[in-house]
Amino acid sequence: MSIFQTNKDIEVLMMNIKALQYQVAFGDVEENITRVREQFERAELKGTDVVVLPEMWTSGYDLENIQKHACQDLEPAKSVVSELAQKYDVNIVAGSVANIKDDPDEVYNTAFVVDRSGALVYEYSKMHLVPMLNEPEYLTGGKDKVETFTLDGNTCGLVICYDLRFPELFRDLALKGATSIFTVAEWPMARKAHWEVLIKARAIENQCYLIASNTYGEIGDQEFAGRSMIIDPFGKVVDEAADHGDAAVTGQLDGNEVARIRKEVPIFDSRKREMYHFL
Ligand SMILES: O=C(O)CCC(=O)C(=O)O
């Protein structure tokens, strides 16, 4: 018997999303907090259920000074996001921040989610550190497995940037019932083509919505790719931003659509778990 939930178990719920694309300031936490507040003011959030922020939005990849920039147990980022959630009555997938938990020598790249009441509902520290950005030299990899969380009754997942290259993680979330997976990123322009293909592939192979928020432009010594997007469970682009420029990528996530696609192309029923070496 399939361990995957049957179509009738998928919640038939809708959520209106805005994934924010803007430029993160390099190594300037105060300026980045100001920018987030400005983005919320500009975004016209009436009717929006979930706002999504990019990766490392408090500091960017200023890794040489990352200990100085790091949040402590997510603060001050969590208080700012919590206040915004209550002010605008939205859930916030709050991108990720450099974060110290217990040991000051261990800085994590931690993503988090708050609900409309401002309460923390989930946090995840990036497990796959990016060699191409020297993350393993400066950051500590997250030690916890990914889990699903619920927003307005919808089962969701959350991963960070380089995680996009690890389909196992997405399958894990889909098998745990996620019908929407948020991907928060600072993905470089040098590999933009991979970003576009991988987001679509992860949506198609798991028949779920992929909501991806990226930054853009030159930040430190990297250029980032923009192209934030929302992809539906059939792989269709719901909305996408350009390579450059601020944007609020907007879309409605529809549980009916997930159920319809999973019925039309029933890959979860066709899986042969006993035939795979590693799952
Ligand atoms: O995998 C890549 O090419 C980019 C990953 C990345 O930039 C990140 O995880 O921050």
Write the CATH number for 174: 3.60.110.10
Structurally, the chain folds into a number of domains equal to 1
Token pair in block for residue 126? 């990036």
Among 164, 187, 191, 219, which is best to mutate for testing ligand 1, by the most ligand atoms less than 8 A from CB?
187
Which residues, in sequence order, are bridge partners of residue 93? Answer: 52, 113
Predicted TM-score (pTM) of the model is 0.95
**Assigned domain for 2 exists:** no
Domain that holds residue 58: 10-275
Would you name the residues annotated as active-site residues? 55, 126, 161
Q: With 90 as the cut, is the pLDDT of residue 9 above it?
A: no
pLDDT, one tens digit per residue, over 194-234 is 999 999 999 999 999 999 999 999 998 899 999 999 999 99
**Assigned domain for 1 exists:** no
Taking the CA of residue 55 as reference, the ligand 1 atom at the shortest distance is 10
ipTM associated with this complex: 0.97
Residue bearing the CA closest to ligand 1, atom 9: 162
Ligand 1 centroid, distance to 10 Cα (angstroms): 31
**Assigned domain for 226 exists:** yes
